[in-house]
């Protein structure tokens, strides 16, 4: 059976893309995003915390399903490991190029101002380049190596970039978020590659599960999802390993938030258990559903890169008319937003919108994006041009 297109995988990817849009809209519009992080327990509230927390599932699932997609690409008749390596290498380089051009412009409306951000597209692209080599390993070797990296990388949390002297940027790229300069160019590493490489490789190894008959793979996904989620609860409860941020029962009115506040940059073991466990349960549930190709989540999941670039740019563009309606002007938006590293005093005092307004803007972004995504998904379904696989 040709499993190159699984509605359940597309639906899971579509779900997390829609949720991801909420986080980006919050970055562009929420008043609190301009001055503090939503997981700052001294300033946040439960509604804001969980608005951010629910979006944590996005990056791990996108990395994992990218690995699954690589397996399904190679599983088509006539394709080889060498062909997969070439595809992953070129696709990875393409994503890094998009990070430094299209996404940079969507952030700043400029290719010259602001620091050079290395965020999600950079991490996916770098991980794909790594997988182009790792995919040549037998799954019996790659799977345990991936799990080892995911499970053990927090033992390196105490290793700081400045310990490497002139090679400090290499450690920023690999494991510790940070800022470095190359001549006069400032780079901000938001997404180090470890352990994202391992998450993508684990997804590639997981692809073999999809060859199983439906009932068998659904049982496997359910048991794995329950196991990972239980592992999170147990390890987090022990409070001894798996995340550099310990939780505390002494946080007034926020013990649960403290328990759930795990580290995303880089993603800790507990962060990945907390997100990938429920994701596998959702995938098992979707796999039991008769999902049509025109289901909205399936549509979004078939064009994830297109949707990513579209919704991000659209959210930034919408900031202009909404600012004009609220403040009577919008020229200040030409400068980077405070939530994007811009100066707070270059924006009107108290700039931003309430959380309910953010949710309404999120729904507007989804409503405006969906018809274009469906149009592009239909093109991809009808045509097989090589360049379509890069969008």
Question: Which residue ranges in the chain fall short of pLDDT 50?
Answer: 1-3
**Contact assessment for residue 243 and residue 269, using Cβ atoms and an 8 Å cutoff:** yes
Contacts of 176 (CB under 8 A, 6+ apart): 159, 160, 161, 189, 192, 266
Encode pLDDT of 145-164 as tens digits: 999 999 999 999 999 999 99
Residue 5 pLDDT = 66
DSSP 99: I
d(C-alpha 241, C-alpha 311), whole Å: 37
For residue 4, the model assigns a pLDDT of 52
Give SS3 for 182. strand
In angstroms, what CA-CA distances link 189 with 33, 91, 167, 193, 262?
20, 20, 15, 10, 19
Burial class (CB in 10 A: 0-12, 13-18, 19+), 128: buried
Domain boundaries, given as residue ranges, for the chain? 7-390
The model's pTM is 0.95
pLDDT (tens digit per residue) in 314-369: 999 999 999 999 999 999 998 889 998 889 999 999 999 999 999 999 999 999 99
- 91 Cβ partners below 8 Å, 6+ apart? 125, 128, 389, 390
């Amino acid at each position: 059976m040709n499993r190159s297109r699984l509605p359940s995988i597309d639906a899971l990817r579509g779900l997390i893309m829609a949720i991801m849009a909420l986080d980006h809209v919050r970055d562009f519009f929420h008043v609190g995003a301009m001055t503090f992080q939503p997981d700052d327990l001294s300033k946040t509230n439960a509604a804001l915390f969980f608005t951010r927390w629910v979006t944590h599932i996005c990056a791990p699932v996108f990395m994992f399903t990218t690995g699954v997609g690589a397996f399904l690409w190679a599983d088509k008749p006539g394709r080889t490991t060498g062909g997969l390596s070439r595809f992953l290498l070129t696709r990875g380089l393409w994503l890094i190029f998009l990070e430094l051009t299209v996404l940079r412009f969507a952030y700043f409306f400029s290719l010259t101002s602001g620091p050079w951000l290395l965020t999600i597209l950079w991490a996916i692209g770098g991980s794909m380049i790594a997988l182009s080599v790792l995919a040549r390993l037998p799954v019996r070797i790659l799977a345990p190596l991936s799990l080892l990296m995911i499970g053990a990388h927090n033992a390196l949390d105490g290793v700081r970039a400045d310990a490497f002297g002139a090679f400090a940027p290499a450690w920023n790229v690999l494991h510790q978020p940070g800022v470095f300069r190359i001549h006069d160019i400032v780079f901000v590493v938001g997404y180090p590659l470890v352990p994202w490489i391992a998450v993508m490789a684990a997804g590639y190894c997981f692809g073999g599960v999809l060859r199983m008959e439906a009932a068998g793979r659904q049982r496997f996904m359910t048991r794995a999802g329950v196991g990972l989620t239980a592992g999170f609860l147990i390890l987090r409860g022990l409070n001894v390993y798996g995340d550099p941020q310990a939780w505390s029962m002494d946080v007034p009115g926020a013990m649960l938030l403290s328990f759930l506040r795990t580290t995303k940059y880089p993603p800790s073991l507990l962060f990945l258990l907390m997100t990938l466990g429920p994701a596998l349960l959702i995938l098992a549930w979707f796999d039991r559903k008769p999902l049509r190709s025109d289901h909205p989540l399936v549509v979004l999941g078939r064009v994830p890169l297109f949707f990513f670039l579209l919704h991000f740019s659209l959210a930034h563009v919408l900031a202009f008319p909404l600012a004009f309606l609220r403040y009577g002007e919008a020229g200040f938006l030409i400068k980077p937003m405070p939530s994007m590293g811009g100066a707070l005093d270059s924006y009107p005092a108290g700039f931003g919108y309430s959380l309910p307004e953010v949710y309404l803007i999120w729904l507007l972004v989804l409503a405006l994006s969906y018809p274009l995504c469906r149009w592009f998904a239909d093109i991809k379904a009808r045509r097989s041009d090589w360049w379509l696989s890069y969008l």
